[in-house]
Structure 1
Amino acid sequence: MSDTRTPRRPSGAQRRVLAPLALAQFICSFAGSNMNVMINDISEDLDTTVQGVQTAITIFLLVMAALMIPGGKLTDRYGRKRCLLVGLVVYGIGALLSAAAPGLGVLILGNSILEGIGTALLIPPVYILTTLIFTDLASRARAFGVIMALGGIGAAAGPLIGGLITSALSWRAAFVFQALVIAVIILLSRRLEDPLPPDPTRSFDTTGAVLSAAGLILVVMGILAADDSLWLTLALLALGALVLLGFFRSVRAKERAGKEPLLSTALFRDRTSNLGLVTQNVQWLLLMGSSFTVAAYLQVVRGYDAVQTGVIFTAATLGLLVSSLAAERLAQRWPQRTLIVTGFLATLAGIVVLIALAGSSPNPWALTPGLLLIGLGLGVMLTPSVNVVQSSFPEEQQGEISGLSRSVSNLGSSLGTAVAGTILVAGLSTGAYAAAMIALAVIGLVGLAAALLLPRTPAR
């Protein structure tokens, strides 16, 4: 897809379109992190266990990961705007049901099932519409910068916002807050226009959807089981890999028969896109892994509550916001490869500073320089990584690549939490937190290596 085409809409119209798309990413990222500070309150109110609430969070991740690729494909058949609105409505119903939940079962139905389905339906259209509407590199970089900024803020500030709402009102109010934001997004989406008409004749690969969903569920279950059993993790990952292998064999068979599969193998023939997907995975792994580790350290070792922990995390949120919103200006001055490499270097430097200052000073504010660097680094590279992947394919493949891209990012988020959680569970001591951050830094080097392999000048 060319980056030099003139934008189809005036900038004012583009800004009006961007607001609901960015808010949609914010609320989904918020939902993925704010539950962590409400576990005790929910378990006491619903007369269940902490493990029961954690199960609800796990099921949400499973549903979202399993349906993201089929959700992206459905946009081609039914239209991007329609899928976005249906996803918002399903999500909003789930949030209201969760707010009124009398027990764990209803909470799982509302939060885990309905919100998971809604997220899988609404997130792919966010990225597809952004790619289609913002057609030149600078405006697209700015748009993705705003979306990634609000997504990162939702993930990083979710515990603080959720903690404030829970402390001031109740955990149920946090779900009402989500429903209200969804209502605002629906109102703002009225002026949204789909640049491409839906194609009802497009086939849908049901077999591929089932196999891909089953494979991703097994992989995510394996990642999340890392806290409990290494052997169970290996078994689930191996089984998931076998199912995904069956999925790709099914895809190849359909392509040879001249039929349209759920996911085209052509998506994996673009070297630049493949490297971009690796950087996306590692970026979200670093974001969620470092957030989990630092939050656990502040609460377990330093004894801070959710609100105090969230306040310290403001440094990372601020850094991410500033660098993400500068995405347009950065894209105009620097190649995307340079920005991704710089982002990884800044993030790795932030981890080093975080470990050094946290171990040498009892002052909790000693963590802020490292967190600020991590936020700045992630904000610099999240946008160009998404842009590299989405811009590597023509309009007719945006549904497929968007679903794949979001699945890869979600797997990174799950893996980051699992890696950090496994190391912390193995030894809940001050040294374990440093070990978890070092492990994240080593994985970050893999992302840096992938970034260095990106072409210096992207192909037109």
Structure 2
Amino acid sequence: MHPPVESGPDGQRSGALRRVLLPLALAQFICSFAGSNMNVMINDISQDLDTTVQGVQIAITSFLLVMAALMIPGGKLTDRYGRKRCFTAGLVLFGAGALLCAVAPGLGVLMLGYSILEGVGTALLIPPVYILTTLLFSGVAGRARAFGAISAMGGVGAAAGPLIGGLITSALGWRWAFVFQALIVAAIVWLSRRVPDPLPPDPTRHFDTRGAVLSAAGLVLVVTGILAADNSGWLMIGLMAAGALVLLLFFRWVREQERAGGEPLLSTALFQNRTSNLGLVTQNAQWLVLMGSSFVVAAYLQVVRGYNAIETGLIFTAATAGLLTSSLAAGRLARRRPQRNLIMAGFVVTAAGIGTLLAMVIGTPKVWAFAPGLLLIGLGIGLMLTPSVNVVQSSFGDDLQGEISGLSRSVSNLGSSLGTAIAGTVIVAGITKTPERAYGLAMVVLAVVALLGLAAAAFLPKPGLPVAGAPVPGEP
């Protein structure tokens, strides 16, 4: 097994840090970018492919949902086939999907390349990013710096997606945004040649196929039910009820497998750590608010205000600046402030940003009215991304890193898909009839989620009071 990156001399450690972190951080960047850059292409894609705003919303939500549904199985596969191999395979799938999108003649092919191939590719490559980081970096401060770099790139990818996507779309066309993704993926494959895999793959490890199918089906049904809310209330209730039932069957199957001495898709031990559970809730809420607000603001700007892709992207510069500023300070803040306090402060700032967007935008034609709220949301999200990840990943030892990484990324991506599905459905339902009301309701929903995240963070253990039976963060 390779020693942690931090165990060598300063020069060697610094070089190893750059070699490992750069491709891993870029991988998180491009996956987050792919989830948000489509928001500024709503009008361009719908006109070019003869579809609707709801059609583009479904494509975006499906991409995020495929990631969420397959992230847990993807994390588990790393034990069997190796983290580096899964990482590379995911990059290849992602790149192929991006190229297919670049030549898509219709929405169906776009969804095949974007929602399916890029979604599956992301589910394969993201768990290794967090597993490798946890295994290669030791100590709370060291992991905080590493997760800070990766989370910062992920957050910047999500926040800057509209700006970069808008620039590319306005200058060259929306299809070139997918060519950009493919080029970044090719660079990551080349840069990751020397990234070590700390643990050897174990081909004898059992893969719980039934559990993977049940967990994926349950998540798909729940989110599909939310998307169906605009068409039929009964269909929404039916799909969500079916999804809840399938997820219940999944957890029942997991317990049966453990009692029989088998190896299920997820260990129930993952849900017995109070700190980790609360950290997962905060992760879900963070990404729900970030992706939900991104879609809502982008749709409102393009459909209601009539802004084009570049104008919409430029408005999101405020969110990008805020998120980059707070994310880059994450490592330093982690050494000076308890992680619980950083997460709580992040939700407070984020909620204030949503409130500002509500107060300043409705009834105000000025474009600058969006900047203060988006800036606060970016600052708040960036402030708490790294602490939440570190809290969850550091709650378990090396033997459970594959599972907790898959679960952590699944919960985060589920938050992203729920944000686009819930807030997106609210605004799409009334954007052509009562746009101001639809925008306001969507923002209120996101504000409630931010307050729920704050409540979950408040129950995290206070500094110096670790949960009984839980390992000390940073010392798995």
**TM-score (norm. length: structure 2):** 0.91
For 2:453, the equivalent position in structure 1 comes to 447
- Residue 65 of structure 1: CA displacement? 2.3
Deviations 1:141-166 (A, max 9, x none): 12212212221222222122122212
- Residue 97 of structure 1: CA displacement? 2.0
1:21 aligns with 2:20: no
Rounded to whole Å, the distance in 1 between the matches of 2:65 and 2:22 is: 28
Deviations 1:180-229 (A, max 9, x none): 00000001101100111111221111111111111111122123223333
- Residue 306 of structure 1: CA displacement? 2.1
- Residue 432 of structure 1: CA displacement? 3.0
Paired residues for 1:324-403 under 5 Å: 324-359=327-362, 361-403=364-406
Unpaired runs of 5+ in structure 2?
Answer: none
Q: Does structure 2 retain, via aligned residues, the 8 Å contact 1:226–1:418? A: no
Unpaired runs of 5+ in structure 1?
Answer: none
Paired residues for 1:252-267 under 5 Å: 252-267=255-270
For 1:79, the equivalent position in structure 2 comes to 82
Q: Does structure 1 retain, via aligned residues, the 8 Å contact 2:59–2:114? A: yes
Q: Partner amino acid for 1:434?
A: G
For 2:437, the equivalent position in structure 1 comes to 431
For 2:250, the equivalent position in structure 1 comes to 247
Rounded to whole Å, the distance in 2 between the matches of 1:285 and 1:186 is: 29
For 1:141, the equivalent position in structure 2 comes to 144
Rounded to whole Å, the distance in 1 between the matches of 2:411 and 2:233 is: 22
Match of 1:190, SS state, is helix
Paired residues for 1:8-47 under 5 Å: 8=7, 10-46=13-49
Q: Partner amino acid for 1:110?
A: G
Residue from 154, 158, 181 that aligns with 2:157: 154
Percent identity, aligned pairs only, is 74
Q: Partner amino acid for 2:447?
A: A
- Residue 358 of structure 1: CA displacement? 2.3
Rounded to whole Å, the distance in 1 between the matches of 2:285 and 2:55 is: 29
Q: Does structure 2 retain, via aligned residues, the 8 Å contact 1:142–1:325? A: no
Paired residues for 1:2-401 under 5 Å: 7-8=6-7, 10-46=13-49, 52-359=55-362, 361-401=364-404
CA 302–22 in structure 1, closer or farther in 2 if over 3 Å, else same: same
Match of 1:170, SS state, is coil
- Residue 48 of structure 1: CA displacement? 5.4
Q: Does structure 1 retain, via aligned residues, the 8 Å contact 2:323–2:380? A: yes
Q: Does structure 2 retain, via aligned residues, the 8 Å contact 1:227–1:421? A: no
CA 360–35 in structure 1, closer or farther in 2 if over 3 Å, else same: closer
Q: Does structure 2 retain, via aligned residues, the 8 Å contact 1:62–1:221? A: no
Rounded to whole Å, the distance in 1 between the matches of 2:389 and 2:298 is: 27
Q: Does structure 2 retain, via aligned residues, the 8 Å contact 1:6–1:136? A: no
Mean CA deviation greater in 219-228 or 386-395: 219-228
Q: Does structure 1 retain, via aligned residues, the 8 Å contact 2:166–2:311? A: no
- Residue 58 of structure 1: CA displacement? 4.2
- Residue 103 of structure 1: CA displacement? 4.0
Rounded to whole Å, the distance in 1 between the matches of 2:297 and 2:456 is: 26
Mean CA deviation greater in 305-314 or 327-336: 305-314
Q: Does structure 1 retain, via aligned residues, the 8 Å contact 2:223–2:421? A: no
Q: Does structure 1 retain, via aligned residues, the 8 Å contact 2:57–2:424? A: no
For 1:404, the equivalent position in structure 2 comes to 407
Mean CA deviation greater in 33-42 or 339-348: 33-42
- Residue 35 of structure 1: CA displacement? 2.0
CA 132–169 in structure 1, closer or farther in 2 if over 3 Å, else same: same
CA 354–51 in structure 1, closer or farther in 2 if over 3 Å, else same: closer
Rounded to whole Å, the distance in 2 between the matches of 1:109 and 1:296 is: 23
Deviations 1:107-166 (A, max 9, x none): 333222211111110011111111111211112112212212221222222122122212
CA 55–341 in structure 1, closer or farther in 2 if over 3 Å, else same: closer
- Residue 33 of structure 1: CA displacement? 1.6
CA 52–144 in structure 1, closer or farther in 2 if over 3 Å, else same: same
Q: Does structure 1 retain, via aligned residues, the 8 Å contact 2:57–2:420? A: no
RMSD of Structure 2 on Structure 1 (CA): 2.0
Mean CA deviation greater in 287-296 or 205-214: 287-296
- Residue 319 of structure 1: CA displacement? 0.6
Q: Does structure 2 retain, via aligned residues, the 8 Å contact 1:157–1:314? A: yes
Rounded to whole Å, the distance in 2 between the matches of 1:21 and 1:231 is: 43
Mean CA deviation greater in 198-207 or 262-271: 198-207
For 2:423, the equivalent position in structure 1 comes to 420
Rounded to whole Å, the distance in 2 between the matches of 1:438 and 1:58 is: 20
Match of 2:332, SS state, is helix
Deviations 1:304-337 (A, max 9, x none): 2221121111111101001011111000000100
Rounded to whole Å, the distance in 2 between the matches of 1:188 and 1:118 is: 18
Rounded to whole Å, the distance in 1 between the matches of 2:306 and 2:50 is: 25
CA 273–433 in structure 1, closer or farther in 2 if over 3 Å, else same: same
Match of 2:225, SS state, is helix
Tell me how many residue pairs correspond in the alignment.
456
Rounded to whole Å, the distance in 1 between the matches of 2:48 and 2:360 is: 39
Q: Does structure 2 retain, via aligned residues, the 8 Å contact 1:14–1:133? A: no
- Residue 452 of structure 1: CA displacement? 0.5
Mean CA deviation greater in 198-207 or 56-65: 56-65
Q: Does structure 2 retain, via aligned residues, the 8 Å contact 1:96–1:176? A: yes
- Residue 269 of structure 1: CA displacement? 0.2
Q: Partner amino acid for 1:76?
A: D
Match of 2:205, SS state, is coil
